[in-house]
Amino acid sequence: MIIRPLRADDKNQWQALYDGYHRFYDRPDLPQDFFDTVFARLMAVDPQDFHALVAESDGDLLGLTHYVFHPHMWFPEGVCYLQDLFTADRTRGKGVGRALIEGVYAEADKAGRPRVYWLTQEHNYAGRMLYDRVGVKSPFIRYNRPL
Amino acid sequence: MIIRPLRADDKNQWQALYDGYHRFYDRPDLPQDFFDTVFARLMAVDPQDFHALVAESDGDLLGLTHYVFHPHMWFPEGVCYLQDLFTADRTRGKGVGRALIEGVYAEADKAGRPRVYWLTQEHNYAGRMLYDRVGVKSPFIRYNRPL
Amino acid sequence: MIIRPLRADDKNQWQALYDGYHRFYDRPDLPQDFFDTVFARLMAVDPQDFHALVAESDGDLLGLTHYVFHPHMWFPEGVCYLQDLFTADRTRGKGVGRALIEGVYAEADKAGRPRVYWLTQEHNYAGRMLYDRVGVKSPFIRYNRPL
Amino acid sequence: MIIRPLRADDKNQWQALYDGYHRFYDRPDLPQDFFDTVFARLMAVDPQDFHALVAESDGDLLGLTHYVFHPHMWFPEGVCYLQDLFTADRTRGKGVGRALIEGVYAEADKAGRPRVYWLTQEHNYAGRMLYDRVGVKSPFIRYNRPL
C-alpha cells in the first residue's frame, strides 16, 4: 500500500469512496454535480483550497483524505485541517486510516505548517480507537450557527 | 454599544483585550512582537486571513472577535470560523459577547458564507451559557496531532 | 448559616425547595402524595434509605441535599450517593451548595463510608462551576435501560 | 449459552473473569482476600447487596455481571445499578455482553424495579458500541469527592 496524491484517473474510485463517506454521515444521494465540482477543486492544486491523498494497493483505492491549510491567529504559519477521512469497509483494521493521517502529517511538515487537527463525532467509536493512537483528544467541542 | 470593524487607532485597547484572552487560556506573557504581527494582519484586510470586530461604547472597547473564511469540501462557498471571542471582565453579562457573535453572523451573511462555527472547551461554562443561546452544540470534538 | 439534618417541622419549606428542584429538571406539578411519601421516608431514618441535610439561616431553609449509602463491589464499606442538591434562587453564589456537599462529606466520614459521588447533567454549567471546586469530574457517563 | 445466577462451584472461573475486569480498569494484582470476600457476598443472596449473573456455555463461563438494587428518591420502588460487566476476550462480539445486560433487565423486572442503569468511561468505545444498542446514553456525568 502506498499513500500518494489524488490523480485525474482516480475519479471513479475516488467517487465511490467519497460517496461511502457521505453515506456514513447520513448524506446519501448527492448529485453527480457535487462530485464533479469537488474533484475539479482537488485537481486544481490551489494552495488555498483542499488537497487529497489516497491509499492505493495494486491500482485499488483503499481510502482517501482531504485536508486544507488555513490561517490561525496564534500560529502565523497557519494550521492544517484534516476534514475528510474514509477507508473502504473491506480494509478496516488494516492500517489504511493511520497511513492516511500520517501522510497528511508528512505533507504538513513539508509545507512548514505541522499543526494538524480534525473533528470527529463523539460517538464515532471506531474512528476514535484510531485517533487516540495517532492523535490527542482536546477539550474543544464545536458549536454551529443555527441555520 | 456598537459593533464595528477594528481600526488602526484601537491598537492599545485591542491589545489589552487580546492579552486578557490569552491569559484566560493560560498563555501569559506573550511578547510585544506577537501582538504587533497579529494586529498588522488584521489591518491588512486580506480576504484569506482573519478579520476583527470590536464592541465599542463611548470610545471604550468592551470586547473583540477574530474570524476567518476558509474553504470547506461540502459547501463550495466556504465557511466562517470564529476563532477568538473575548469580553472585558467588567462587561460580562451585558450582551457584549452575543452582540459580537451576531456581528460575525452579519458579516458572514454579507460575504455569502453564512455557515459560522466555533470551538470551545467543554468546561468553558460561562461561554457555553451564551453559546447555547446563540448557537447549537454539535457532537464534534477536536483531536490534535501530538507535537 | 448552619447545615443540619432535616426535621419534621421543616416540611413546608423543604417541599418548596424540592419542588423547585424538580422544576429545574422539567418535572413540574408533582402530586402532594409524592412529597408526603418522600418526606416520610426521610423522617424514618432508615440506614438503608435516603437521608437529608438542609442549610438554615434564622429559620429560613436555603437549600437541601438527599444522599444514600449503598453497597459497592470494590469497596466493602459501601459508598455514598449524593442524589439531590438544590439551593434557593435567592441564595445562589453564597456558598450554600458547597456547604451542603461538605456536610454530606462529613456525614460520610462519620459513617465510615467516605467515598461520595454524584451525577450531574453535562450542560449543568452553574452546578459544574461548583462541582469542579469541591469534586473531581470522572470519565464515567450514565446509560439507562430504555423504558 | 445460558444466563444464570452465579453458583458456589463457579468460584475459580468467576475469579479469572473478575480479575480480567479489574485489569481492564488498571487495577491489577488484587489480593486473594478481595476475591474471597466479594464471592462470599454474592453467595449470601442478601437482597440489599450485590447479585451476580454469569453466561455459561458447556460448563465454560464466558462473562459475568454484578448488580444491586438501591433506593431512589424519585422512584419509591428503587432502581437497579449494573456495576460490573465483563466478557472473556475470546468471546467478544458473540452477544455475551448483550445477553448479560438483558439478563439483568429480566431480573429487574421480576423484582418490580425495572429501572436499570450503569456507568461507563466515555472512552470505552467497545463497550459503548454495545450500550448504544441495548441502552440510552443520558446527559449525566459522574463527579467524585477527591480522596
pLDDT of D92 reads: 78
Does position C93 have pLDDT exceeding 90, yes or no?
no
Residue B125 touches partner C, C-beta closer than 8 Å: yes
Using a CB-CB distance cutoff of 8 angstroms, which residues of chain A are in contact with residue B111? Answer: none
Interface mutation target, options D125, D129, D133, D137, chain A, most CBs of A under 10 Å: D125
Is A81 inside any structural domain?
A: yes
Which candidate from B71, B73, B119 shows the least CB-CB separation from A84? B73
Using a CB-CB distance cutoff of 8 angstroms, which residues of chain A are in contact with residue B123? Answer: 139
Average pLDDT, chain A: 96
Contact: C73, D81; criterion CB under 8 Å: no
pLDDT of D91 reads: 87
pLDDT of D89 reads: 85
pLDDT of B92 reads: 78
Which residues are D137's β-sheet partners?
A: C143
pLDDT of A97 reads: 97
Does position C28 have pLDDT exceeding 90, yes or no?
no
pLDDT of C17 reads: 97
pLDDT of B27 reads: 87
Does position A92 have pLDDT exceeding 90, yes or no?
no
Using a CB-CB distance cutoff of 8 angstroms, which residues of chain A are in contact with residue D136? Answer: none
Using a CB-CB distance cutoff of 8 angstroms, which residues of chain A are in contact with residue B118? Answer: 142-143
CA of A129: which chain D residue's CA is closest? D125
Per-residue pLDDT band at A91 (split at 50, 70, 90): confident
pLDDT of D136 reads: 98
pLDDT digits (tens, 9 = 90+) for C43-92: 999 999 999 999 999 999 999 999 999 999 999 999 999 999 999 988 87
CA of A126: which chain D residue's CA is closest? D125
Contact: A143, B135; criterion CB under 8 Å: yes
Does position C124 have pLDDT exceeding 90, yes or no?
yes
Do chains C and A touch, with touching meaning 3 or more CB–CB pairs less than 8 Å apart?
no
- The residue-averaged pLDDT of A111-122 equals 98
pTM of the full structure: 0.93
Does position C134 have pLDDT exceeding 90, yes or no?
yes
CATH number of the domain at D123, please.
3.40.630.30
pLDDT of B93 reads: 79
Chain C, chain D: beta-carbon pairs less than 8 Å apart: 136
Beta strands in chain A (DSSP E): 2-5, 51-57, 60-70, 79-87, 116-121, 136-144
| φ and ψ at residue C42, rounded to 5 degrees | -65, -35
Question: Which range in A55-69, B18-32, C82-96, D18-32 is most confidently predicted, on average pLDDT?
Answer: A55-69
Where do the H-state alpha helices sit in chain D? 11-24, 32-44, 96-110, 125-134
Which candidate from A136, A139, A142 shows the least CB-CB separation from B123? A139
pLDDT of A89 reads: 85
Q: Cα-atom radius of gyration of chain D, to the nearest Å?
A: 15
Give the number of domains in chain B: 1
Is C87 inside any structural domain?
A: yes
pLDDT of C130 reads: 96
- C141 to chain B, closest Cα gap in Å: 15
Residue A121 touches partner B, C-beta closer than 8 Å: yes
Is C140 inside any structural domain?
A: no
Per-residue pLDDT band at C40 (split at 50, 70, 90): very high
Low-confidence ranges of chain D (pLDDT < 50): none
Residue C132 touches partner B, C-beta closer than 8 Å: yes
Residue B71 touches partner A, C-beta closer than 8 Å: yes
Is D14 inside any structural domain?
A: yes
Question: Cα(D49)–Cα(D85) distance, rounded to whole angstroms?
Answer: 17
Residue B61 touches partner A, C-beta closer than 8 Å: no
Q: Tell me the residue range of the domain where B71 lies.
A: 2-134
Residue A12 touches partner B, C-beta closer than 8 Å: no
- The residue-averaged pLDDT of B16-27 equals 93
Is A144 inside any structural domain?
A: no
pLDDT digits (tens, 9 = 90+) for A5-46: 999 999 999 999 999 999 988 888 899 999 999 999 999 999
- The residue-averaged pLDDT of A128-141 equals 97
Is A56 within 8 Å of A62 (Cβ atoms)? Answer: yes
Do chains D and B touch, with touching meaning 3 or more CB–CB pairs less than 8 Å apart?
no
- The residue-averaged pLDDT of C98-121 equals 98
The interface pTM score, or ipTM, of the predicted complex is 0.96
Which candidate from D66, D105, D114 shows the least CB-CB separation from C73? D66
Using a CB-CB distance cutoff of 8 angstroms, which residues of chain C are in contact with residue D71? Answer: 41, 48-50, 68, 70
Is B143 inside any structural domain?
A: no
pLDDT digits (tens, 9 = 90+) for B53-98: 999 999 999 999 999 999 999 999 999 999 999 999 888 778 999 9
Angle, helices A96-110/A125-134, rounded to nearest 10 degrees: 50
Virtual torsion, Cα B121, B126, B131, B133, nearest 10 deg: 150
Which amino acid would we find at residue D135? G
Residue C125 touches partner B, C-beta closer than 8 Å: yes
- The residue-averaged pLDDT of A86-114 equals 94
Is D59 inside any structural domain?
A: yes
Is B140 inside any structural domain?
A: no
Is A98 within 8 Å of A104 (Cβ atoms)? Answer: no
